[in-house]
Amino acid sequence: MAASASSPLSSDFFAGIKPVRYAGPKSSDPLTYRHYDAARVVGGRTMAEWLRPAVCWWHNFAWNGVDMFGAPTFERPWFGDTMDHARAKADAAFEMFRILGVPFFTFHDRDVVPEGADIAEFGRNLAAMTDHFAAKMQASGVKLLWGTANLFSHPRYMSGAATNPDPDVFAHAAAQVKNAIDATHRLDGANYVLWGGREGYETLLNTDLAREREQLGRFLTMAVEYKHRIGFKGAILVEPKPQEPSKHQYDYDVATVHGFLQSFGLEREVKVNIEVGHAVLAGHSFEHEVALAASLGILGSLDANRNDYQSGWDTDQFPNDAPELVPAFYHLIKAGGLGTGGLNFDSKVRRQSIDAEDLILGHVGGLDTCAKALLSAHALIEDGAYDSFLAHRYAGWDDPKAKAMLAKGATLEGIAARVAAERIDPKPRSGKQEWLENLFNRFS
Ligand code: XUL
Ligand code: CO
């Protein structure tokens, strides 16, 4: 079949790099996993089942090392704008998935194929690449965690996609998302992601907030309706991010997205894809965003990339601090895992990391960091002291009189009368923060 044939441009880019295997915490070989042991059972599930790790197309195969002051630093044989280049890129990507032993990948539409002259050619290119992927996925067993449409790079989207003042841009974005959902569906993707980098504003002076909110709500509703119409079983995910590239983005954080979803009756249809670095940009911790999403029933998937705390940018670095991730993994385990979601490495190697090996090392370290945090969080839960602390702290609410205050029919005056009759006079109790911090450190 022509679609699955390798490209004449395919290369031996990763030549000499052997598949990465688990070698245990004592291993000093940088190309081995020290904590990520895919088949190891932890709390009734394998590590691979808990983490569902994925590698992204964007930063690994499309990013060329450019920054605002400097030219591209990466030389990759698949850089170019033809379908032969796109197939060579796919060959390199699936070779990398094989080396890393990861079960999933993720992609943006324009990163896997050239956009061509118009949306029709873009659609044909994507459909052809979908066939190519299907054959490679079948041969390798690697699955699609999510697909998405890039509605932010092309100049037509500079003033937004769904929230653009020009209805023709809205229409173009709708056509692009339809094609990307079709490709994701055809590849049996576990989720479809929407991220609104340009859905926001540079200045309020030229922005009609009410209109743009309605447009975005309508757009998302149509994506959900389309998913049901074609029988796509994956979850629709929105990825919160407060700013960058826009000054303000409408999918600011988990709480904002939840309120938005409720306004349009979508809170049971759409979940969130939470990125570590985006949480920090929003002025939150990652665990705050994960815990909140879990408590609201909208925890969908994770992007593992972190920021640099000093620079204040979305630097998309590989995670490398396991203790910092333990609280988030605690909430992930307590939520029963990610369902259809996974742990996507939307991370990129630094501009000076120009070797093929650097791409592998980044993922090995990132996956190991998350695996270590998973093990620590699981050990903390097994220990039980933390959960019993929490249960004890709220135990007063098990009392029938306490429960009655929250039930329908309870009134302020009724509660006031009981306070007077029983002479209720609560005494302060320690919140035990230092005890808790020390406990978490024991398991980090
Ligand atoms: C942007 C970002 C995107 C989304 C999907 O900051 O993280 O890759 O994950 O468009
Ligand atoms: Co991301």
Instruction: Return d(Cα 55, Cα 273) in angstroms, integer.
Output: 15
Tell whether omega for the bond before 155 is within 30 degrees of 0, i.e. cis. Answer: no
Instruction: Answer whether 199 contacts ligand 1 (Cβ < 6 A).
Output: no
Instruction: Answer whether 212 contacts ligand 1 (Cβ < 6 A).
Output: no
Tell me phi and psi for residue 201, to 5 degrees. Answer: -145, 155
Domain ranges of the chain: 21-383, 398-442
Ligand 1 pocket: which of 192, 346, 348 to mutate (most atoms within 8 A of CB): 346
Q: In 3-state terms, what secondary structure has residue 406?
A: helix
What is the bridge-based pairing of β-strands 41-42 and 45-46? antiparallel
Task: Look at residue 4 in the predicted model and tell me its pLDDT.
Answer: 55
Instruction: Return d(Cα 276, Cα 355) in angstroms, integer.
Output: 26
Instruction: Answer whether 303 contacts ligand 1 (Cβ < 6 A).
Output: yes
Ligand 1 centre and the CA of 213: distance in Å? Answer: 20
Tell whether the model's pLDDT for residue 52 goes beyond 80: yes
Instruction: Answer whether 148 contacts ligand 1 (Cβ < 6 A).
Output: yes
Is pTM beyond 0.95? Reply is yes
* pLDDT level of residue 241 (50, 70, 90 thresholds): very high
Q: Which residues are catalytic?
A: 108, 111
Q: Which atom of ligand 1 is nearest to the CA of 273?
A: 9
Task: Look at residue 312 in the predicted model and tell me its pLDDT.
Answer: 84
Angle at 365 between CA 361 and CA 371, to 5 degrees: 145
Instruction: Return d(Cα 296, Cα 294) in angstroms, integer.
Output: 5
Q: Express each pLDDT in 175-230 by its tens digit.
A: 999 999 999 999 999 999 999 999 999 999 999 999 999 999 999 999 999 999 99
Percentage of residues in the chain having pLDDT higher than 90: 97
Q: Which of 333, 346, 322 is nearest to 273 (CA)?
A: 346
CATH architecture for the domain at 21-383: Alpha-Beta Barrel (3.20)
Q: Express each pLDDT in 348-363 by its tens digit.
A: 999 999 999 999 999 9
Taking the CA of 58 as reference, the closest ligand is 1
Q: Using only the alpha carbons of the chain, give its radius of gyration.
A: 24
Encoded amino acid at 244, one letter: E
Instruction: Return d(Cα 387, Cα 440) in angstroms, integer.
Output: 12
Q: Which of 276, 274, 304 is nearest to 367 (CA)?
A: 304
Q: Express each pLDDT in 106-140 by its tens digit.
A: 999 999 999 999 999 999 999 999 999 999 999 99
CB 263, CB 229: distance < 8 Å: no
